């Protein structure tokens, strides 16, 4: 997906899709809406969106991730007119090392935020020795049951991790490259390397797995000599090893919560299209006064004075009852009905039209 600027400086969204069966590229222009407020256009996002990740979730959802902005996701990318929904990332500490990962056999989205903290516990680096290289980890799960919303489900401070027996001998520096386990929803893998944080630090690199729920260290792996992992690299999770099992697990269709989320998306998409149709019809439909004048002009042999007198009667009828009654008659009876209304209004002592005129004069 990319944003393209045309000659008139207008920016539009283009979705480039490659179908593996036909090996053909297709270009589509999706409509982006806030998930929390269906129908609100997101054209102002075009100038600042940057794709960091593209993640498939389950069998139908596809997510585009901007780690500074949020998520764009869709369940109908192959439709002729696909819909994209925008969901901001949770409001958490900025200037952090963050990642969006998929877990629970590819059916759950999680947001991992690792940020430096000062000695007082707040976000941000501190020059105090007591909080040198201190950090905190927050994890959030994208709930997909009744609605799609972020729920914070994990928090861990560096001091809790450093105090574990399994962490002894590892550098007490900020963690890098967070990656969720594909199977364990609370397990996160990190890279630990002193050289990444200190100019002349030890170059030895370690992979560690942290369980955010039990706040324990699951495993520690030392990188072989000569192999390096860039601090800014993005390790990719893989489930290739499961295919070497003697009894490989069968793919699950995904939790019931995801099915509920899909239904909600479809309802919102239908409501958006209905609102767009109604807006178009309202813009194209004439005003009530114009409709009255048009209907009277269609009556044959109605002269100019009769038309003006007849026009004043339904335009002063706020209920619209008289106009609807006139339209319901066959064309050959409408003139007689109009002349009767004119005669009745002229004969009355104080008709509704005159009353309205008096109110205006007062």
What string of pLDDT tens digits covers the 362 residues of the chain?
676 766 666 667 788 888 777 888 888 888 777 765 444 445 556 567 888 888 888 777 889 999 988 998 888 887 877 888 888 999 887 767 889 998 887 788 999 999 888 766 566 666 666 667 889 999 999 988 767 889 999 999 999 999 999 999 999 999 988 999 888 889 999 999 998 888 888 889 999 999 999 999 999 999 887 666 555 566 666 666 566 655 544 444 455 556 666 666 667 666 666 665 566 555 555 566 677 778 888 887 788 888 888 877 766 666 667 777 777 778 878 888 888 888 887 776 455 545 454 444 44
Q: How many domains does the chain have?
A: 3
Tell whether 8 and 141 lie within a shared domain: no
Task: Tell me the pTM.
Answer: 0.65
Last residue of a domain, one of 88, 104, 136: 88
Residue 316 within any structural domain of the chain: yes
Tell whether 227 and 103 lie within a shared domain: yes
Residue 168 within any structural domain of the chain: yes
Q: Which domain holds residue 80?
A: 1-88
Tell whether 30 and 43 lie within a shared domain: yes
Last residue of a domain, one of 238, 260, 280: 238
Tell whether 23 and 56 lie within a shared domain: yes
Tokens found for residue 332: 């050959």
Contacts 24+ apart (CB under 8 A), 264-272: 264/146, 264/147, 264/148, 265/75, 265/83, 265/85, 266/75, 268/33, 268/35, 268/38, 268/85, 269/76, 269/83, 271/38, 271/39, 272/31, 272/33, 272/38, 272/39, 272/83
Tell whether 139 and 102 lie within a shared domain: yes
Residue 26 within any structural domain of the chain: yes
- Look at residues 323, 321, 322 and name the one whose alpha carbon lies nearest to residue 286: 323
Are the beta carbons of 26 and 17 closer than 8 angstroms? Answer: yes
Tell whether 96 and 234 lie within a shared domain: yes
Residue 295 within any structural domain of the chain: yes
Last residue of a domain, one of 211, 238, 265: 238
Tell whether 206 and 332 lie within a shared domain: no
Tokens found for residue 211: 């369980």
Residue 248 within any structural domain of the chain: no
Tell whether 131 and 67 lie within a shared domain: no
Tell whether 123 and 208 lie within a shared domain: yes
Strand partners, 114: 97, 137
Report in angstroms the alpha-carbon separations of 149 from 54, 59, 88, 141: 19, 20, 10, 8
Tell whether 179 and 206 lie within a shared domain: yes
Residue 247 within any structural domain of the chain: no
Residue 277 within any structural domain of the chain: no
Residue 117 within any structural domain of the chain: yes
- Look at residues 56, 13, 74, 54 and name the one whose alpha carbon lies nearest to residue 268: 74
Tell whether 118 and 98 lie within a shared domain: yes
Residues 6+ apart with CB under 8 A from 60: 75, 262
Tell whether 309 and 178 lie within a shared domain: no
């Amino acid at each position: 997906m990319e944003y393209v600027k045309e000659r008139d400086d207008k920016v539009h969204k283009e979705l480039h899709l490659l179908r593996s069966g036909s090996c053909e590229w297709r270009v589509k222009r999706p409509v982006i809406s806030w998930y929390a407020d269906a129908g609100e256009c997101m054209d102002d996002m075009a100038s600042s969106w940057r794709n960091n990740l593209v993640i498939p979730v389950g069998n139908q959802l596809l997510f585009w991730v901007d780690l500074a902005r949020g998520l764009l996701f869709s369940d109908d990318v192959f439709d002729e007119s696909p819909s994209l929904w925008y969901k901001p990332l949770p409001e958490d500490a900025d200037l952090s090392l963050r990642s969006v990962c998929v877990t629970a056999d590819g059916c759950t989205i999680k947001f991992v935020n690792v940020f430096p903290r000062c000695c007082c516990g707040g976000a941000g680096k501190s020059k105090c020795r007591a909080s040198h290289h201190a950090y905190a980890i927050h994890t959030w799960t994208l709930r997909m049951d009744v609605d799609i919303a972020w729920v914070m489900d994990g928090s861990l401070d560096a001091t809790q991790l450093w105090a574990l027996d399994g962490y002894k001998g590892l550098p007490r520096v900020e963690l890098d490259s967070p990656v969720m386990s594909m199977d364990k929803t609370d397990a996160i893998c990190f890279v630990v390397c002193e050289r990444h944080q200190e100019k002349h630090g030890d170059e030895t690199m370690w992979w560690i797995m942290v369980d955010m729920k039990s706040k324990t260290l699951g495993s520690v792996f030392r990188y072989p000599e000569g192999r390096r992992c860039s601090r800014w690299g993005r390790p990719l999770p893989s489930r290739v090893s499961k295919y070497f099992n003697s009894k490989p697990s069968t793919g699950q269709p995904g939790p019931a919560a995801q099915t509920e989320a899909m239904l909600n998306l479809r309802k919102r998409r239908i409501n958006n299209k209905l609102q767009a149709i109604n807006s178009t019809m309202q813009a194209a439909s004439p005003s009530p006064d114009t409709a009255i004048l048009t209907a009277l002009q269609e009556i044959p042999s109605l002269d100019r004075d009769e038309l003006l007198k007849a026009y004043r009667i339904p335009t002063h009828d706020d209920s619209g009852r008289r106009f609807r009654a006139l339209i319901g008659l066959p064309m050959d009876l409408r003139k007689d009905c109009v002349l009767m209304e004119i005669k009745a209004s002229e004969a009355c002592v104080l008709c509704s039209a005159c009353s309205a005129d008096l109110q205006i004069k007062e």
